Copies of this chain bind each other. A is one copy, B any other.
Amino acid sequence: MPQPFDISLITRGARIRRSPFFEATLKYGCKSYTVYNHMLLPSYFDDPVKEYWKLIEGVTLWDVGVERQVEITGRDAFKFTNLLTPRDLSRCKVGQGKYVLITDENGGIINDPVLMRLGENHFWLAVADSDVLLWAKGVALNSGMDVEVREPDVSPIQIQGPKSKQVMERLFGGKILEMPYYHFVETKLDGIPLIVTRTGWTGEVGYEIYLRDGSRGVELWEKVMEAGKPDNIAPTGPSDIRRIEAGILNYGIDMTLAENPYEVGLERLVELDQKADFIGKEALRRIKAEGVKRKLVGSRCQIVCKKI
């Protein structure tokens, strides 16, 4: 049994990067950070159970600048990006997003980003905690394809919870509410360049705002806080309680390079019948045919508290 561990024992150094919203999260009383993609990720501002109820009943604001983007452009960007993922990107239109897996040649999971298609040959991968940038650059090197792979100046926040709609309407007008799930628009807010997406890590109604100018993070944060005032918007960390309840997996815990999509119940993200080739296709076809020997399952437990 691992010993209990005091969370205050973790420190940081200059090596760990700060998001454009960092100063704002300090100002609003973030109590604890973790490290994700070599950056500080606010964990919570209040008791996690209280934060859960703020998300379920109201609206919450998260600094998820740690969701770094891997940007893929160039004449072969579509073909290259489709090579990286088992999802069939021919069914992803410009202006649309997809939850995708990045797999290696054995079908092992390298990451599970949200992919956005900004142009015919322009993609963003908003990555979980592993250096997909290095993987994609490595694959590109000998691919013979005309692509550029880089990390742009883009940092998302999430606005999640049932009251997120009215906050977004105040910020961007009523038209924003017509946006379908996993779609996005390019827009500006008082000149701040943004992409607004109908996505999130909660299973609740929610949006993400991708900031495209790192110098304007605190300004954007304050604008969202202001628009959310009538609904008591609260800065919180990502809710682990809610994401587990919603069956959303967390890379590095529920899946790693040692797991394949079939073992973690993400077979819906593997489209073996598509025409295009992708990394791991052969391995995943074999794994599907042979069946898996282990499988991640959910479990439910009820804890009854009695006064004693």
Report A89 CB to chain B, min CB distance, Å.
19
User: How many residues in A have their beta carbons less than 8 Å from beta carbons of B?
Assistant: 54
> Given A5-B26, A8-B8, A134-B131, is A13 in contact with B141 using a C-beta cutoff of 8 Å?
no
Residue A304, interface by CB 8 Å: no
Considering only residues 224-281 of chain A, those with a C-beta below 8 Å from chain B are 240, 250-253, 257, 279
Residue A34, interface by CB 8 Å: yes
A-B contact pairs, 26 of them (CB 8 A): A3-B23, A9-B30, A10-B32, A10-B34, A11-B33, A11-B34, A11-B43, A11-B44, A13-B43, A14-B253, A15-B36, A15-B129, A15-B250, A34-B35, A38-B129, A105-B137, A110-B134, A130-B131, A130-B134, A131-B135, A133-B257, A135-B138, A138-B138, A138-B140, A141-B279, A142-B142
CB within 8 Å of B: which residues of A?
2-3, 5, 7-16, 18, 22-23, 26, 30-36, 38, 40, 43-44, 104-105, 110, 129-144, 240, 250-253, 257, 279
Report A226 CB to chain B, min CB distance, Å.
21
Report whether A32 and B9 are in contact in the complex, using a CB–CB cutoff of 8 Å. Answer: yes
Report whether A10 and B13 are in contact in the complex, using a CB–CB cutoff of 8 Å. Answer: no
Given contacts A11-B34, A16-B35, list 14 more A-B pairs with CB under 8 A: A10-B10, A10-B34, A14-B253, A15-B36, A15-B250, A15-B251, A131-B131, A134-B134, A134-B135, A135-B135, A138-B138, A138-B141, A139-B142, A141-B279
Oligomer: number of copies? 2
Report whether A13 and B34 are in contact in the complex, using a CB–CB cutoff of 8 Å. Answer: yes
In angstroms, Cα B142 to Cα A104, docked, is 12
Q: Which residues of B contact A240 (CB under 8 A)?
A: 13
In angstroms, Cα B252 to Cα A34, docked, is 17
Q: Which residues of B contact A15 (CB under 8 A)?
A: 34, 36, 129, 250-253
In angstroms, Cα B143 to Cα A32, docked, is 44
Report A252 CB to chain B, min CB distance, Å.
4
> Given A11-B10, A135-B134, A137-B104, is A3 in contact with B26 using a C-beta cutoff of 8 Å?
yes
Q: Which residues of B contact A257 (CB under 8 A)?
A: 133
Q: Which residue of B lies closest to A252 (CB)?
A: B15
Report whether A23 and B2 are in contact in the complex, using a CB–CB cutoff of 8 Å. Answer: yes
